[in-house]
Amino acid sequence: MIDLSKIGTEQQNENTMKIDQLNTLEMVRLINQEDQAVIDAVNNASESIANAVDATYEVISQGGRLVYIGAGTSGRIGVLDASEWLPTFGVGEESVVGIIAGGDHALRHPIESAEDNEQDVIDDLKAINFNKDDILCALASSGRTPYCIGGLKYANDLGAKTISLACVANSELANYADYPIEAVVGQEVVTGSTRMKSGSAQKMVLNIISTSVMIKSGKVYGNLMVDVKPTNKKLVERAKGIIMKASGCSYERAEELMELSQGQVKPSIVMEKLNIDFTTAEALLANNHGRIADALNTIKDR
């Protein structure tokens, strides 16, 4: 038997016990008021999140992958974050993978029993050749999902690094993770509906982890996403805008730089700021781990 009364996300919220009797505006304001706890919960977990960021960056910089696993809402949030790395940072499944219990069908169609099987996650991880050079991040609001615990055990047996993300204190999940994160959001607005405060907290934490890792990897210059892939009209214009903002050049010059750099933003910026050709800019970036600021400073220091 699972004693749900001991799980924070399953307890009844005294602040919302009469939410069904409120008018619409009162209801909206109360839900938003409860969501303020999400910000505090994530902030309180800052140190744990930073440790997870550093561990993930080390793995990815050495050619490994960050692999998210989860069931239900948690699994969907992991898959969502993983799928957004490519359009934002130009990084795909060579560096990040999202797995949901029950497979991709479970993204749209709930398969609630999938979370209870510790063996299924092993099969899922084997299917992507998860190994000791990767890092596993297991997401479970309740901190007790068997699918996630099974994944952490398997990763530990392989010698891979592990992260857990729960929304309760002293989670069972944390016992199996090298880098446990606990964003304790308190009781949900609707009792047990962890797609709400818990889901918001998980989304925020994954946003922080993925963005921070990519910043450390040189995918951001200032606060500009300089590895954006111009794969549609909007992104082509965004790429030109980034080049203009970063280098101070005109729109026409940004277009020219895009042609000279085969559509790449980072070398375009370096070309303009240092007045060098594409081949030289690419080599300079390669020698500085893709970081524009470091590449520019290399020239200044000479």
Please check whether residues 132 and 191 belong to one and the same domain.
Answer: yes
Alpha carbon distance 75, 137 (integer Å): 11
Q: Are strands 179-182 and 135-139 parallel, antiparallel or unpaired?
A: unpaired
What mean pLDDT comes out for the span 129-138? Answer: 98
Q: Picking from 40-54, 105-119, 199-213, which range would have the lowest pLDDT averaged per residue?
A: 105-119
The catalytic position among 14, 47, 58, 84 is 84
Tell me, yes or no, whether 57 and 123 share the same domain.
Answer: yes
Assess whether 201 and 228 both reside in one domain.
no
Give residue 109's pLDDT.
Answer: 85
Determine the residue type at 252.
Answer: E
Predicted confidence at residue 189, as pLDDT, reads 87
Active site residue 115: yes
**Region 88-100: what's the mean pLDDT?**
94
pLDDT of residue 111: 76
Tell whether 202 and 271 lie within a shared domain: no
Q: Is the pLDDT of residue 202 over 70?
A: yes
pLDDT over 60 (residue 42): yes
User: Is 201 found in the same domain as 77?
Assistant: yes
Q: Residue 301 — pLDDT band, cuts 50, 70, 90?
A: low
Question: How many domains are contained in the chain?
Answer: 2
Pick from 184, 216, 248: which residue ends a domain?
Answer: 216
| Domain harbouring 140, CATH code | 3.40.50.10490
Of 10, 34, 115, 172, which residue is the catalytic one?
115
Report the mean per-residue pLDDT for the chain: 92
User: Above 80 in pLDDT, residue 61?
Assistant: yes
Residues 170, 87: one domain?
Answer: yes
What average pLDDT does this structure show over 260-280? Answer: 95
Is residue 164 domain-shared with residue 251, that is, in the same domain?
Answer: no
- Among residues 216, 233, 268, the one where a domain terminates is 216
Residue recorded with tokens 């781990």 = 289
Which token pair is 89?
Answer: 């940072």
Based on the domain organization, do 290 and 150 belong to the same domain? Answer: no
Identify the band that residue 193 occupies on the pLDDT scale cut at 50, 70 and 90. Answer: confident
Mention every residue, 6+ apart, whose C-beta is less than 8 A from residue 249.
Answer: 243, 257, 272
H/E/C letters for each residue in the chain? CCCHHHCHHHCCCHHHCCHHHCCHHHHHHHHHHHHHHHHHHHHHCHHHHHHHHHHHHHHHHCCCCEEEEECHHHHHHHHHHHHCHHHHHCCCCCCEEEEECCCHHHHCCCCHHHHHCHHHHHHHHHHCCCCCCCEEEEECCCCCCHHHHHHHHHHHHHCCEEEEEECCCCCCHHHHCCEEEECCCCCCCCCCCCCCHHHHHHHHHHHHHHHHHHHHCCCEECCEECCCCCCCHHHHHHHHHHHHHHHCCCHHHHHHHHHHCCCCHHHHHHHHHHCCCHHHHHHHHHCCCCCHHHHHHHHHCC
8 lies in which domain range? 4-216
Q: What is the CATH number of the domain that holds 246?
A: 1.10.8.1080
Predicted confidence at residue 5, as pLDDT, reads: 52
Q: Quick one: average pLDDT of 33-57?
A: 96
pLDDT greater than 70 at residue 6: no
Where residue 7 falls among pLDDT bands split at 50, 70, 90?
A: low
Alpha carbon 6 to its chain centroid, in Å, reads 29
Instruction: Look up the pTM and report it.
Output: 0.89
Among 216, 243, 274, where does a domain finish?
216
Burial of 149-186, coded b for 16+ CB within 10 Å and e otherwise, reads: bbbbebbeeeebbbbbbbbbeebbbbebbbbbbbbbbb
User: Do 195 and 234 share a structural domain?
Assistant: no
Looking at residues 114-134, what average pLDDT do you find? 91
Same domain, 199 and 277: no
The tens digit of pLDDT for each residue in 207-238 reads: 999 999 999 999 999 999 999 888 899 999 99
Is-contact 272 249, C-beta < 8 A?
Answer: yes
109 and 34 within one domain: yes
Task: Based on the fold, state whether residues 240 and 180 are members of the same structural domain.
Answer: no
